[in-house]
């Protein structure tokens, strides 16, 4: 684990009409302390700012320190955004998982693309998965005292030796004791299991899910849900790793195995408790489960049920927003990963019922990662350039922002939307959600 030292919290956003805007904060200012305490991260900041009376020490862009006093309502937000949620730097990962996606990238990219975070703060704030192998006693205490729950934990296997083998870290074998700690402290986690064929599938997977289910008891279950996810491999992975890609037959085997356990859990807990990521069904070319199977979608951020939810929301919003016809005819190309081609064909048919609108689905695989079947979120700028150059794309591309890095205009290969647009000599319409996709389909071109 490595950490940089505590820095003032650098502001990059001041919400209009907020307390901060009234006081005269501007982006570039930085908060040094609140009521005498230096916030380490957004969690500290939010905790310290909950007070009704605040004394702020602020460093302006010229390096001058200001002391401010603020009186406000208890739950009133100051209206500030920061360049990072972690003012003291990222807690880095100390594992060496052979399936690590960071290690499966091509060499020679920006250094930050190779940052491996394993930070409980990001897990609490944004739902990213962590392994619990790098926490110090002080950090366990902070999780307990600040009630940082739920966290999202990559379990992979409850058997100590198997987990140590998967994470390549001797500290990885303590997972069951750690789950007991969560249970005793009435704190909760969502778990994930990345299945690597030949290592943690078969009996290991059954054991893992059954042991996790033992923590799904009582009025405050320590393990709220489990996502079972297939390992994703790229052509850049280290050659000496022991990993086998998930075949359609293996995907079907895992579906059958987990669905049998789901039936057992449903009878015991009135909940399926463990869910299969959509990708299993795409790899096996099997039908997705019905919507009701996903209950309240506890693992939607992990690709569990997201296609089902997308299909339903699409049809609802399409009925409400799509006109019968367009006054100006329009042709667009909707780019998705080829894994969802079958599921998305009915959506394209629905769009093309609007007279004057033609949407062509470009369902691509990723040669960049060396995958024959690719989910939308993994397509890169280079894939788009290679596969769409010279094609008639109509008025432009409908681009799901799922392909871009969080809060960024860059693809996973670091190309920007602008660069891809220039190379393809076409417009790119970024679609953050279904509403914006439908709006781009029907709005009149300039």
Interface with ligand SF4 (CB under 6 A)? 93, 95-97, 100, 102, 116, 118, 131
Q: Which is nearer to ligand SF4, 96 or 312 (CB)?
A: 96
Q: Determine contact, residues 243/98, Cβ cutoff 8 Å.
A: yes
Q: Which is nearer to ligand SF4, 102 or 260 (CB)?
A: 102
- Name the β-bridge partners of 416: 410
| Secondary structure of residue 240 in the 3-state scheme | coil
Q: Which is nearer to ligand SF4, 117 or 293 (CB)?
A: 117
- In SS3 terms, 281-338 reads as HHHHCCCCCCHHHHCCCCCHHHCCCHHHHHHHHHHHHHHHHCCCEEEEEEEEEEEEEH
d(CA 51, CA 184): 30
Q: Which is nearer to ligand SF4, 65 or 102 (CB)?
A: 102
CB of 148 to ligand SF4, least distance (A): 19
CB of 100 to ligand SF4, least distance (A): 3
d(CA 277, CA 191): 13
Q: Which is nearer to ligand SF4, 246 or 431 (CB)?
A: 246
| Four-residue CA torsion sign, 132, 134, 137, 140 | negative
Residue with tokens 């309502």: 73
H/E segment holding residue 41 = none
CB of 109 to ligand SF4, least distance (A): 16
| Four-residue CA torsion sign, 162, 166, 169, 171 | negative
CB of 98 to ligand SF4, least distance (A): 9
CB of 11 to ligand SF4, least distance (A): 29
Q: Which is nearer to ligand SF4, 171 or 266 (CB)?
A: 171
Q: Which is nearer to ligand SF4, 104 or 366 (CB)?
A: 104
CB of 115 to ligand SF4, least distance (A): 9
CB of 93 to ligand SF4, least distance (A): 3
CB of 245 to ligand SF4, least distance (A): 17
φ, ψ at 25 (rounded to 5°): -60, 145
Q: Which is nearer to ligand SF4, 118 or 279 (CB)?
A: 118
CB of 171 to ligand SF4, least distance (A): 12
| Four-residue CA torsion sign, 316, 317, 323, 325 | negative
CB of 114 to ligand SF4, least distance (A): 10
Strands 274-276 and 223-230: parallel
| Secondary structure of residue 11 in the 3-state scheme | strand
Q: Determine contact, residues 65/57, Cβ cutoff 8 Å.
A: yes
Structure tokens at 399: 């681009």
**Nearest residue relative to ligand SF4 (C-beta):** 100
Q: Determine contact, residues 37/23, Cβ cutoff 8 Å.
A: no
* 369 C-beta neighbours (distance < 10 Å), count: 24
Strands 151-154 and 189-195: parallel
Q: Which is nearer to ligand SF4, 95 or 105 (CB)?
A: 95
- Sequence-distant (6+) residues with CB within 8 A of 104 are 233, 234, 236, 237, 369
Q: Which is nearer to ligand SF4, 3 or 96 (CB)?
A: 96
């Amino acid at each position: 684990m490595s950490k940089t030292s505590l820095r003032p919290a650098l502001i990059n956003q001041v919400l209009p009409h907020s307390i901060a805007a009234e006081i005269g904060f501007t982006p570039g200012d930085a908060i040094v302390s609140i009521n005498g305490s230096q916030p380490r991260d957004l969690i500290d900041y939010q905790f310290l700012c909950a007070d009704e009376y605040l004394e702020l020490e602020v460093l302006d862009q010229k390096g001058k320190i200001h002391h401010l006093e603020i009186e406000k309502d208890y739950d009133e937000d100051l209206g500030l955004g920061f360049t990072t949620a972690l003012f003291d730097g990222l807690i880095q990962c100390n594992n060496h998982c052979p399936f690590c996606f960071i290690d499966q990238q091509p060499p020679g990219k920006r250094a930050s693309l190779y940052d491996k975070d394993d930070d409980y703060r990001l897990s609490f704030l944004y739902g990213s998965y962590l392994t619990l192998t790098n926490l110090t006693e002080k950090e366990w205490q902070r999780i307990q005292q600040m009630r940082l729950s739920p966290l999202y934990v990559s379990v992979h296997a409850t058997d100590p030796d198997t987990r140590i083998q998967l994470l390549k870290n001797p500290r990885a074998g303590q997972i069951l004791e750690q789950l007991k700690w969560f249970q005793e402290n009435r704190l909760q986690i969502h778990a994930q299991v990345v299945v690597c064929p030949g290592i943690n599938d078969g009996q290991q997977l059954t054991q893992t899910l059954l042991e996790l289910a033992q923590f799904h008891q009582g009025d405050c279950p320590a393990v709220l849900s489990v996502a079972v996810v297939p390992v994703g491999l790229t052509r850049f992975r280290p050659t000496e790793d022991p990993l086998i890609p998930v075949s359609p037959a293996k995907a079907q085997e895992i579906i059958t195995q987990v669905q049998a356990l789901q039936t057992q859990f449903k009878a015991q807990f009135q909940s399926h408790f463990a869910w299969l990521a959509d990708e299993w069904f795409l790899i096996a070319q099997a039908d997705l489960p019905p919507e009701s199977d996903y209950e309240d979608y506890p693992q939607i951020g992990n690709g569990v049920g997201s296609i089902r939810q997308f299909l339903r929301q699409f049809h609802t919003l399409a009925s409400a927003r799509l006109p019968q016809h367009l006054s100006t005819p329009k042709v667009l190309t909707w780019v998705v990963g080829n894994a969802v081609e079958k599921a998305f064909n009915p959506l394209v048919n629905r769009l093309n019922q609007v007279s004057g609108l033609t949407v062509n689905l470009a369902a691509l695989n990723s040669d960049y990662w060396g995958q024959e079947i690719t989910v939308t979120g993994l397509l890169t700028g280079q894939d788009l350039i290679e596969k769409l150059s010279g094609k008639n794309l109509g008025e432009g591309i409908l681009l799901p922002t799922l392909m871009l890095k969080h809060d960024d205009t860059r693809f996973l290969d670091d190309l920007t939307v602008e660069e891809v647009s220039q190379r393809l000599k076409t417009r790119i319409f970024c679609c953050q959600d279904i509403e914006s996709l439908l709006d781009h389909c029907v709005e009149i071109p300039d």
